[in-house]
Amino acid sequence: MHSQWLAAGRPCSAEELCAQHPDLADRLAALLTDPTEIERQITEHGDRDLGEFRLIDEIGRGGMGVVYRARQRSLDREVAVKVLLDHITRHPAAVARFKREATLVARLDHPNIVAIHSVGEDGATHWFAMERIDGDPLTDIDPTTGKPRTVRATVELCLRVADALAHAHAQGVDRKST
Cα separation, 82 vs 47, whole angstroms:
15
Look at residue 41 and tell me whether its pLDDT is greater than 70: no
pLDDT at 35 exceeding the cut of 60 = no
Q: Which residues contact 52 (CB under 8 A, 6 or more apart)?
A: 72, 73, 74
30 or 130, greater pLDDT: 130
- DSSP string covering 47-79: -EEETTEEEEEEEEE-SSEEEEEEEETTTTEEE
User: Per DSSP, what are the bridge partners of residue 55?
Assistant: 48, 70
Query: Pick from 43, 47, 121, 118: which is nearest to 79 by CA?
Result: 118
End-to-end CA distance of the chain: 28
Query: Does residue 36 have a pLDDT over 60?
Result: no
- Tell me: the pLDDT tens digits for 98-145? 898 899 999 999 999 999 999 998 888 899 999 998 876 666 666 677
**Tens digits of per-residue pLDDT, 56-89?**
988 888 777 889 999 999 999 999 999 988 878 8
- pLDDT bracket for residue 23 (50, 70, 90): confident
Cα-based angle 162, 107, 75 (whole degrees, multiple of 5):
110
Residue 101: predicted pLDDT:
85
